[in-house]
Structure 1
Amino acid sequence: MAGSKLIRGGMIVTSTDLYAGEIMIKDGRIEAIGKRLEAGEAEVVDASGCYVFPGGIDPHTHLDMPFGGTVTADNFESGTRAAAYGGTTTIIDFCLTSKGQSLEEALRIWQAKAEGQAVIDYGFHLMIASLGDEVLQELPRMIEEEGITSLKVFMAYKNVFQADDGTLYRTLVEAKRLGALVMVHAENGDVIDQLIREALAAGHTDPIYHALTRPSAIEGEATGRAALLTGLADSQLYVVHVTCAEAVQRIAEARSQGLSVWGETCPQYLVLDQSSLEQPDFEGAKYVWSPPLREQWHQEALWDGLRSGQLQTIGSDHCSFNFKGQKELGRGDFSKIPNGGPSIEDRFTILYSEGVAKGRISLNQFVDLVSTRSAKLFGLFPRKGTIAVGSDADLVIFDPSVTRELSAATHHMNVDYNPYEGMVVMGQPISVLSRGEFVIRDLTFVGRTGAGQFLKRSRFSGGEAVMEPEKRQTSARANT
């Protein structure tokens, strides 16, 4: 059982509030919030000069995942440890399935990967590869009993993950009926497959052609198509890793029509651009992920989307492959480069540094983007995603005055490069608590492998989950 702690001296920040206060933690939860609280036997933790944020929720990770003839460099132990160093206390990973495989079998495989390994709490999204009778029969139990209330459909990776539009539509219909949120990787996989064939036939094999064969227009097209099907099904849609102006526009149009559509972007698309893939000596392969990096002008469209609320969350899409021995599988053929990059550790700070510190978003927007909105959309609020009486004591003590340089030499991800190498950022998580226990304390890992718990999540409720009246009143009193 977590020991009692009193965090004092910091500025408490939620998606709606900013105030000086103290937080009493008992039995892994927040017991009281106020000023001049009695410490009693509680350990006093000094957060002077720091912000105290809710623990980050990363809604998009790929740990211990097979892809392209290899397996990601980070498993659930190394990946969640790095996440904790970066201020994230909850991840939701993608449980992959294949056609003909039962959902039960796929889930047990992913549970075996995570159980006894994760150092922070975790949940799963469940991939839908096909929707035959067996899968239809399994879905209610997955949602109601297993608490997996989000379903992923790929519109890309033809002959690997891609599902047809009929499967997407039927998944949307079932999700509406059962209370789940449908997630899509929105690219036109059929067109991409043809463009790749044409590029290779013409002798174009360098990493830059990964981007050139996946133009932004077909991400926009797929996003619009998914939104249209969502409207037909009267369902709900979450578009992962939005990269471009066209996709932001399609999401904004759908929302203006009253459709339940949300969008996620990732730090790499906010700060890196397509020119990274042009680096010589195959170095561009480090930046091969899907959808690809775009021309730099798309970044402002993404920031505009975050500011205006057309994009609601930040995921890392962490899918790490070493440059040596893994990315190199695609030398001479860009289509064989394992898709993915490492961002789980830097997601939180990059958004603070590039967003808050540079005046693009407010502190409250930052918290909503890195934590609160994901908790609401994915059935974790108010247990996670906020600082309130009764919520889990998942907290980040964050020093905004620190200036540091991101580098593979100092990161904790199990991968031999950092895509943000040399980038100077403002701010750093100093200490991180998961359910009242330190995972990171004064920049040092003090957590325990296997301490992370699997989270059964509640059904989708519109993305605007609210506290129960009694809890809301208690929290309001505590904040005065």
Structure 2
Amino acid sequence: MTSPQPGASGAPGRTAVRGGLLVTASDELHADLLIEDGRIAAVAARHSDVADGWQADRTLDATGKYVLPGGVDAHTHMEMPFGGTFASDDFETGTRAAAWGGTTTIVDFALQTKGRALREGLDQWHAKADGRCAVDYGFHMVLSDVTPESLHETDLLVEEGVTSFKLFMAYPGVFYSDDGQILRAMQRAADNGGLPMVHAENGIAIDVLVEQALAEGRTDPRVHGEVRRELLEAEATHRAIQLARVAGAPLYVVHVSAEKALAELASARDENLPVFGETCPQYLFLDVENLAEPDFGGAKYVCSTPLRPKEHQEALFRGLRTDDLQVVSTDHCPFCFSGQKELGRGDFSKIPNGMPGVESRMDLLHQAVVEGKLTRRRWIDLACASPARMFGLYPKKGTLAPGADADIVVYDPHAEQVLSAETHHMNVDYSPYEGKRITGRVETVLSRGTTVLDRGEYTGRAGHGQYVPRGTCQLLG
């Protein structure tokens, strides 16, 4: 690779990416790319007169590799407060880890504090992220306090590019909204074009089961999965769908973990309702047995929705293939085992809920391709194009086309690696996938034409990442 020559954007003026197999959600083609001023300027067939005539300041040789759009992780929680502590990745460490994993855009969740304005929460998240991100970022808004004032604020936020709003049917006393509040928020979204996102678990019923389990002396991490029952995810998913239907609003259900909840989404989509779902790598590659690991090791795997029995994995993969699930995000919300997960020793309900994943998502999904569970194009659709469309970022993000941001990953599909806390770059002291052998590795990453990972060497910097205002959902008819 030749030395870069700075252009007006801070990226090299003209870069050619040659020799690779370009993989997008719609195409696989042997072609070359030309990048200029941080955007894709042209795509041309390899050895064509057009491609051979390009004059570039540098050339990336992608021979034998895939050339992919940068990943879009539409569900992260950097520096999120939870259970008396904070997620261990902040925007600097978390977006650096994202870059290592081939993700060039995240959409994080800004939190409204009960009794406070949405704007105050959003401003706090802007302050956390500004000048610290290695890759580009946007925000969803968590609605923790549905009032006439906060609903009015959603109109204003949609206009400035915060176009999705999360509501919790779980965590009474913290983030929880009742059905009436959820309905009002959905009605407002139907009017202003926002996309309601729902954490679908029956939190009121779960709290009863938690109380009963603790009273019986059942305190181990595995009980977390037992009390957050599949039926209570399915029931809440059904209820959310019906509330959205009454409101005339679309719906996006986050972190779907179980077959019965997926069946509710599939049934709604069979009726042509604008209902969408996301799952996460932990539900595809881990299972409830991890929660039973000895010496409190199961605490590493405590997240909500919880890990399910292994047989749910095939149902989720089937949903990804049939488009009943449209997105794979991470719900990246890491807490160190030492000093954070250990807060729940003797009481599983006090274990901070969340797992790391922003660095491993693209590689784990490629492993699903290797195993024949997904096609290459579906991999890129789930990890790049569909989240970009879902959250109003396409075609600026999520594809390889003229005019798109030059967020590009050169990916070695034959490299082998072992996932481990010793080698990952997330700011957390364990890997949920410790010792897992996978095939495929991110080699080089460009963010808006600037190299942030160069053949396995990090070259990015805090502050390169820019805030990206979003449009409304592009998957609505």
The amino acid that maps onto 1:212 is E
Q: Tell me if the contact between 1:186 and 1:222 (Cα under 8 Å) persists in the aligned partners.
A: yes
Equivalent residue, structure 2, for 1:342: 356
Equivalent residue, structure 1, for 2:201: 187
Greater Cα shift, 128-137 or 282-291: 128-137
Q: Tell me if the contact between 1:380 and 1:457 (Cα under 8 Å) persists in the aligned partners.
A: yes
The amino acid that maps onto 1:46 is D
Equivalent residue, structure 2, for 1:69: 84
* 1:404 pairs with 2:417: yes
Equivalences for 1:17-166 in 2 at 5 Å? 17-35=27-45, 36=47, 37=51, 38-145=53-160, 147-166=161-180
Q: Gaps spanning 5+ residues in structure 1: where?
A: 465-480
Equivalent residue, structure 2, for 1:316: 330
Partners of 1:41 and 1:402 lie apart in 2 by 28
The amino acid that maps onto 1:32 is A
> Residue 463 of structure 1: CA displacement?
4.3
Partners of 2:300 and 2:151 lie apart in 1 by 39
Superposed CA deviations along residues 225-271 of structure 1, whole A, max 9, x for unmatched, are 10111111111000000000011100000111111000100000001
Return the TM-score normalized by structure 2: 0.96
SS of residue paired to 1:231: helix
> Residue 98 of structure 1: CA displacement?
2.0
Q: Tell me if the contact between 1:179 and 1:461 (Cα under 8 Å) persists in the aligned partners.
A: no
The amino acid that maps onto 2:37 is D
Superposed CA deviations along residues 70-127 of structure 1, whole A, max 9, x for unmatched, are 0111000100000110010000001111221101100000001100111000001001
Equivalent residue, structure 2, for 1:390: 403
The amino acid that maps onto 1:86 is G
The counterpart of 2:460, out of the listed 442, 447, 454, is 447
Equivalent residue, structure 2, for 1:377: 390
Query: Identity percentage over the alignment?
Result: 50
The amino acid that maps onto 2:359 is E
Equivalences for 1:439-478 in 2 at 5 Å? 439-463=452-476
SS of residue paired to 2:381: helix
* 1:229 pairs with 2:243: yes
> Residue 448 of structure 1: CA displacement?
1.3
Return the TM-score normalized by structure 1: 0.95
Superposed CA deviations along residues 252-311 of structure 1, whole A, max 9, x for unmatched, are 001111110001000000010001111111111001010110011111110110011100
> Residue 27 of structure 1: CA displacement?
0.4
> Residue 130 of structure 1: CA displacement?
2.3
SS of residue paired to 1:438: strand
The amino acid that maps onto 1:373 is S
Q: Tell me if the contact between 2:151 and 2:185 (Cα under 8 Å) persists in the aligned partners.
A: no
Equivalent residue, structure 1, for 2:253: 239
Equivalent residue, structure 2, for 1:302: 316
The counterpart of 1:267, out of the listed 281, 286, 290, is 281
Equivalent residue, structure 2, for 1:366: 379
SS of residue paired to 1:450: coil
Partners of 2:358 and 2:341 lie apart in 1 by 18
* 1:252 pairs with 2:262: no
Partners of 1:336 and 1:361 lie apart in 2 by 37
Partners of 1:133 and 1:229 lie apart in 2 by 19
SS of residue paired to 1:21: strand
* 1:216 pairs with 2:230: yes
Q: Gaps spanning 5+ residues in structure 2: where?
A: 1-8
Superposed CA deviations along residues 306-357 of structure 1, whole A, max 9, x for unmatched, are 011100100011000000000000001000000001011001100111x211
Equivalent residue, structure 2, for 1:468: none
The counterpart of 1:13, out of the listed 20, 23, 42, is 23
Aligned residues between the structures? 462
SS of residue paired to 2:242: helix
SS of residue paired to 1:238: strand
Partners of 1:298 and 1:426 lie apart in 2 by 23
Partners of 2:476 and 2:138 lie apart in 1 by 17
Q: Tell me if the contact between 1:376 and 1:463 (Cα under 8 Å) persists in the aligned partners.
A: no
Partners of 1:295 and 1:462 lie apart in 2 by 31
